[in-house]
């Protein structure tokens, strides 16, 4: 069976945008409304001759007593449990949020290999200083990406494949 790579993170950080960029197809729904991607979406991918299944998920929004958000968190936990490697997505502009810290905790407890994609790094050149704040999440591997422009997505896939 092909290894499974799951993309998780709180709503609106750009998971579906990255998924679309990586798969080259507009399969996932990209929306300004947080949490629009409510169910998992799968796509067969290949990178450097390695095949894997990429999974987009709805956002994880821990500790909020809301039916839809609980459902999305459950979906994300299922995705994490079934994944061989997880791409956690955060956004540069928002910095490290309490939800990011909770999700990083979920991932830590899962024991799965994790690569952190700090999205919305839209400008090319030197990595912005704010990038280094994300090391506080305790995920050793941080890749700056721009889902919209596609910057960093090759580095992200290289980092993921190293775990498969």
**Token reading at 102:** 């909770």
The token pair that represents 65 in the structure block = 């007593």
10 is in an annotated binding site: yes
The least CB distance from residue 87 to Mg ion, in Å, is 13
> Is 154 assigned a ligand-binding role in the annotation?
no
Count CB atoms within 10 A of the CB of residue 84. Answer: 17
- With CB under 5 to 8 Å by kind, the binding choice for 31 among ligand GDP, Mg ion, none is ligand GDP
CA-wise closest residue to 76 among 11, 26, 146: 11
Residue 91 in 3-state DSSP? strand
Q: Which residues pair with 89 in a beta bridge?
A: 117
Enumerate binding residues for ligand GDP (CB under 6 A).
9, 11-17, 30-32, 36-37, 59, 119-120, 122, 146-148
| Residue number closest to Mg ion, CB atom | 37
**Residue that is written with structure tokens 């990429």 in the block:** 54
Q: Report the residue number, 15 or 160, with the smaller CB distance to ligand GDP.
A: 15
Options 12-20, 47-55, 105-113, 130-138: segment touching Mg ion (CB under 5 A): 12-20
């Amino acid at each position: 069976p092909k290894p499974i790579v799951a993309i998780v993170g709180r709503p609106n950080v750009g998971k579906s945008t990255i998924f679309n960029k990586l798969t080259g197809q507009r399969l996932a729904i990209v929306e300004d409304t947080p949490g629009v991607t409510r169910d998992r979406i799968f796509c067969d991918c290949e990178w450097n001759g390695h095949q894997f299944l990429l999974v987009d998920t709805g956002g994880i929004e821990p500790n909020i007593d809301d039916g839809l958000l609980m459902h999305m968190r459950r979906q994300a936990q299922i995705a994490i449990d079934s994944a061989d490697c997880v791409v956690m997505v955060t956004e540069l502009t928002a910095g490290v949020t309490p939800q990011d810290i909770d999700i990083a905790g979920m991932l830590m407890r899962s024991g799965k290999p994790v690569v952190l994609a700090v999205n919305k790094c839209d400008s090319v050149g030197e990595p912005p200083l704010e990038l280094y704040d994300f090391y506080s999440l305790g995920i050793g591997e941080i890749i700056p990406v721009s889902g919209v422009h596609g910057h960093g997505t090759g580095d992200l896939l290289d980092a993921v494949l190293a775990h498969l």
